[in-house]
Amino acid sequence: MEFQREGFTVITKGYDAFINHRGPDVKESIASEIYNCLQLMGYRPFLDQPELEAGDPIPSAIQNAINTSIVQISIFSPRYAESSWCLDELLLMLKTKVRFIPVFCDVKPSDLRYLHKGVYARAFADHKEKGRFSNERLQQWEEALKSSSLFCGYNFSTSNG
């Protein structure tokens, strides 16, 4: 899709799948594996690297990829909730109401439901302590994680290879 805006041509790309993940945790492992497998099967997945190019406006490129994807995959790892980017992407993904597939990598769905005593407790405590985000936004993130735990998904353990 292409449209004109203030003298610039903006090309909107459609993706078959958007892969949401915390890069330092899973980019070199499961996120790349999912991306490569989908490509080999002839699909067009979005993974920030390699899809983003120099000069791309990151927030709008990611929002476009989420809004134009047919399937959205979220890879929940132990440090996922430390990233406000991941949590904001998750909010947007769930708002689009397209097929959502969670991948639980070294976490269980229950870890997303019980945020104040589980794997994500420290991350949410840090978000609150730092005070960079409103209570409303923190509540939205908590609800999004809890909602995500109710979707049928896949379990992945790095200890099993």
Cα 145 from Cα 81, distance rounded (Å): 9
Element (H, E) at 2: strand 2-5
Q: Which residues of 39-64 are buried (b: 16+ CB within 10 A; e: fewer)?
A: eeeeeebbbbeebeeeeeeeeebbeb
Tell me which of 6, 28, 51, 89 is the catalytic residue: 89
Cα distance between the two ends of the chain: 40
Known active-site residue 89: yes
Task: Supply the Cα-derived Rg of the chain in whole angstroms.
Answer: 16
Q: Which two tokens stand for residue 17?
A: 């799948």
Q: Which residues are catalytic?
A: 89
